[in-house]
Amino acid sequence: MAIFYGLMAALLSAIHLTGDKASATGVLIFAAVFGTPLVLHALALRGVRNGLLWGRSLSRTLGILLLFAVPIGTVLGAFVIMRTGPKDWENSASG
């Protein structure tokens, strides 16, 4: 997901900059809209790979937010929530 957000930010910035009225404000808005989730997903990945509880909590929070991105985000959000449940978390932490 982090790669997707990064690609979308780069694409939209490039489209915006090639227009007649390229503004720094528009680029900053695109960077904020797509950059924030990119950073959050990268942080969650780092926390989960290290087996830290805050990584799991952040992943679950991002999964809940993805539920509102119908239809694909809903499927991805449900998958993230299921895979960060207590049972899966214990299995991955121990093995």
Prior bond of 71 cis (ω within 30°): yes
Please say whether the dihedral angle defined by the alpha carbons of residues 65, 42, 40 and 10, taken in this order, is positive or negative. Answer: negative
The secondary structure of the chain in percent helix, strand, coil, rounded to multiples of 5, reads 80, 0, 20
**Model confidence pLDDT, tens digit, residues 23-74:** 666 677 777 877 888 889 899 989 988 989 999 999 999 999 989 988 888 9
AA letter at 90: E
Residue 51's pLDDT is 85
| Cα of 15 vs its chain's centroid, Å | 22
| CB 74, CB 60: distance < 8 Å | no
Residue 82's pLDDT is 92
